[in-house]
Structure 1
Amino acid sequence: MRLRHAVAVVCLGLLGAGLSGCGSEDQGGNTDPDLVDAVEVPKTGVCRDLSPDDVAKPANATAAVDCASRHTAETYAAADLPAEYDDADYDDPDLGTYAYRTCSTKFAEFVGADESLVLRTTVSWAWFRPSEKAWSKGARWYRCDVIGGNSASPAYRALPRTARGMLSGRPDNRLAGLRQRPVGRTGREGALLAEARLARGHDREVWASPTTSTPATG
């Protein structure tokens, strides 16, 4: 039995006995109560100050910040999932495949980068799904955030007021790194990663990988 299913059984037992103690899953730091276990599709153009720990989680309810202030993430795409996922399991591998295909395409369009430039910058993207509680209530959506780093980054760098078109010219040197290693799966994060290619024939050779997470299973 998967760990979260076992936990769910315990929670139901506690509720049946009139006890409490099972709360929502961890959905990031500095959460907004209105976003915890939210069923509605997230808004785009929203900025947040996310950390690698936040991005490692499948769901995120971190409070929004003013895009004029320091932030490390901006939501550039969000929408309902196709109807084919109405009956899908929360950790269905096909969901990650769909998110990668969708978010990666929209990422390149949003930041204004061609394939070569995407491969030479450490600016990447992360995607989130509803919490398990929201999923059980029928929530079926995805959220794509551009982030100032990738899964190899110990911390993310601040983004400009908006990341729209930020790579249409030369990348910001603060957001570029020399020969960053491609990111692989890391234990409980179970990160779904693209196979990034090393872009050769440039003065700077920088790795970039999308950063997404899937729920851990036991």
Structure 2
Amino acid sequence: MTVHHRHLRTTMAALAAGLLVLVSGCSEETGAGDAAMGAPASSTASPTPDPLAGAPTVDACYKMTYARSQAATNGSAPVNCYDDHTTITYYVGTFPDDAAASDPVQVRKDCTAHLAEGLGLSKKELRSSVFSWIWFEPTTSQWSAGARWFRCDAKAETGGRLKLLPAGSSPILTDGVPDAYFRCVDNRNDQGRYVTCDQKHDYRWAGYFQARGGASYPSRKAFEKQGKGCYEFTDNGAYWVTWPLEPGWDNGDREMNCYKLTAG
């Protein structure tokens, strides 16, 4: 699965909002003279912040490009889930009410934990697929108004493009992963191109295991040596193996994926 990283929202907007409240609070002109003259006490109630202000709904579908999916926020209108769409919201979470910025660690944990269920897949089936997740946070104005939600969308990506998702609401799959979303490798001309299995391919995903190693990122030679663990999934046949990149390793990813040679 792809691990996603997003920027930390700058706290300047939140600080500015807080400063505005302080300034407006100090400008209230109340004093003992008002009460002595019999005037009613001034009481301007502040609206209660709504952490879900502007939040999307689970099962909302969207048609967006890969480039648009990389933005921090998304104001696109949802489309009918039986029409063409490239993402579907499967989970909406919230940050603490007093959060001054989005928390990518919480997002990664929650979006990852709910993805398989949102798609209707087992964890192993999810790993065999090109499905992953993206997330969006409130706009600056929504954040200043008290919004603390984040949105997890499922997507299917291959070759730097988003594929159209199956029609219908979440869970969108009920009978495993079809070839149109299954992970394969096209190694013609030694290109090692990752494709879905409905296209010409040489290797098909067969299983995964956890790499050994500490905090330090292993060398390529060490990964290749551990890659022999793929024989377990390929009946001692030829295999293709992938391992985490260093940023993923630093975030705790230890997954090595094995692909079995196939006639395709």
TM range (shorter): 0.5 to 0.7
Query: Cα RMSD (Å) of the superposition?
Result: 3.6
Pick aligned residue for 1:39 from 49, 53, 62: 53
Pick aligned residue for 2:91 from 69, 77, 92: 77
Code of the residue aligned with 1:172 in structure 2: it is: P
1:109 paired with 2:112, answer no
Question: What is the identity percentage for the equivalent residue pairs of Structure 1 and Structure 2?
Answer: 22
Distance 1:73 1:3, change over 3 A: closer
**CA displacement, residues 49-77 of structure 1 (integer Å, 9 cap, x when unaligned):** 12221221111111211111100011111
- Which of 116-125 and 156-165 deviates more? 156-165
Code of the residue aligned with 2:98 in structure 1: it is: D
Question: Hey, what's the Cα distance between the residues in 1 that align with 2:112 and 2:13?
Answer: 34
- Residue 97 of structure 2 is matched in structure 1 by 86
Question: Hey, what's the Cα distance between the residues in 2 that align with 1:154 and 1:111?
Answer: 21
Distance 1:185 1:60, change over 3 A: farther
Displacement of 1:41 after TM fit? 2.1
Relative to the length of structure 1, the TM-score reads 0.60
SS in 1 for 2:129: coil
- Residue 236 of structure 2 is matched in structure 1 by none
Code of the residue aligned with 1:175 in structure 2: it is: Y
**CA displacement, residues 178-210 of structure 1 (integer Å, 9 cap, x when unaligned):** 244788699xxxxxx873723337678xxxxxx
C-alpha contact (below 8 Å) 1:41/1:80 kept by paired residues:
no
Structure 2's unaligned 5+ residue stretches are: 1-7, 15-51, 186-193, 195-241
SS in 2 for 1:195: coil
Structure 1's unaligned 5+ residue stretches are: 9-37, 187-192, 205-218
Question: Hey, what's the Cα distance between the residues in 1 that align with 2:246 and 2:78?
Answer: 28
Displacement of 1:168 after TM fit? 4.4
Distance 1:39 1:96, change over 3 A: same
SS in 2 for 1:198: strand
C-alpha contact (below 8 Å) 2:244/2:256 kept by paired residues:
no
Displacement of 1:175 after TM fit? 1.9
Question: Hey, what's the Cα distance between the residues in 2 that align with 1:3 and 1:144?
Answer: 17
C-alpha contact (below 8 Å) 1:110/1:163 kept by paired residues:
no
Question: Hey, what's the Cα distance between the residues in 2 that align with 1:42 and 1:3?
Answer: 19
Q: Which has the higher contact order (CA 8 A, sep 6+)?
A: 1
SS in 2 for 1:60: coil
Code of the residue aligned with 2:105 in structure 1: it is: T
Relative to the length of structure 2, the TM-score reads 0.51
SS in 2 for 1:98: helix
Which protein has the bigger strand share?
2
**How many equivalent pairs are there?**
162
Pick aligned residue for 1:154 from 135, 157, 160: 160
* Greater Cα radius of gyration, structure 1 or 2: 2
- Residue 256 of structure 2 is matched in structure 1 by 198
